[in-house]
């Protein structure tokens, strides 16, 4: 697959057609600058050459960090994402018969892609992060009953501090710092990793918490 391609985009505001370079395969080991552009969002930002209106184009790239042995598939369609996962897993196995352990993730947009990169850069367990995001959601609801949570992200700011961001439909935000003991807990939250468990999000966390509740009851 080519590393880049040119896409034609018609501006919704002035109808001018412009060109936008997309990178379906982002290899940050070969091109470390790309990682910064994913995190800043620059890689997904189109600017109309005529009226300069900016818009996000999330073309669903595959993010590959060979050093960290990490592959993140940005794919809106979960089933399609799983298909790609199987394909890449086999390709990597063919490349390296000793079958180097890779960590795969499927995310549904470029925001989640950025989030995963930051979580792994901090050395955190994304499964723990999702469980914690979900549990803290209940705290936010209790303390701010009128606040409507639309999205929740782990974010690392430029000053190095980390936090959970609970965002409402108007982009208002309630934040919970991720630091100290809490952050340590999120490093090794679960013992083992299941290599086929590749969609790790809040829905996943909700299920894990539900199941653990059932197990507790069974023990009693
Ligand atoms: Zn325009």
pLDDT tens per residue across span 24-63: 999 999 999 999 999 999 999 999 999 999 999 999 999 9
Ligand 1 center from residue 51 Cα (angstroms): 4
pLDDT tens per residue across span 181-192: 999 999 987 878
Q: Would you state the pLDDT for residue 219? A: 46
Ligand 1 center from residue 5 Cα (angstroms): 21
Share of the chain above pLDDT 70, in %: 95
Degrees to nearest 5, angle at CA 148 with 147 and 152: 105
Q: Would you state the pLDDT for residue 37? A: 96
Phi/psi at 126 (nearest 5 deg)? Answer: -65, -25
Ligand 1 center from residue 43 Cα (angstroms): 19
For residues 119 and 137, what is the distance between their CA atoms, to the nearest angstrom?
18
C-alpha distances out from residue 198 to 88, 107, 155, 183, Å: 13, 9, 20, 22
Model-level pTM?
Answer: 0.91
Q: Would you state the pLDDT for residue 44? A: 97
pLDDT tens per residue across span 143-173: 999 999 999 999 999 999 999 999 999 999 9
For residue 195 the two structure tokens come to: 């290599």
Ligand 1 center from residue 44 Cα (angstroms): 17
pLDDT tens per residue across span 100-113: 788 999 999 999 99
Ligand 1 center from residue 81 Cα (angstroms): 32
Residue 216 predicted with pLDDT over 80: no
């Amino acid at each position: 697959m080519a590393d880049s391609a040119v896409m034609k985009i018609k501006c919704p505001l002035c109808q001018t057609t412009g060109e936008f370079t997309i990178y379906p395969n982002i290899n940050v080991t070969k091109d470390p600058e790309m990682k910064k552009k994913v995190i800043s969002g620059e890689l997904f930002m189109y600017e109309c050459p005529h009226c300069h209106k900016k818009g996000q184009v999330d073309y669903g790239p595959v993010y590959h960090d060979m050093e960290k042995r990490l592959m993140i598939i940005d794919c809106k369609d979960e089933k399609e994402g799983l298909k790609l996962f199987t394909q890449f897993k086999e390709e990597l196995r063919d490349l390296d018969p000793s079958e180097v352990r890779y960590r795969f993730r499927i995310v549904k947009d470029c925001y989640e892609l950025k989030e995963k990169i930051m979580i792994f850069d901090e050395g955190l367990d994304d499964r723990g992060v999702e469980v914690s995001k979900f549990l803290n959601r209940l705290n936010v609801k209790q303390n701010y009953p009128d606040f409507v949570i639309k999205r929740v992200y782990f974010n690392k700011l430029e000053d190095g501090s980390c936090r959970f961001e609970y965002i409402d439909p108007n982009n208002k935000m309630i934040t919970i710092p991720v630091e100290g003991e809490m952050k340590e807990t999120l490093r090794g939250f679960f013992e083992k990793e299941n290599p086929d468990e590749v969609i790790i999000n809040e829905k996943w966390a909700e299920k894990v918490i539900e199941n653990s509740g059932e197990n507790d009851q069974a023990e009693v």
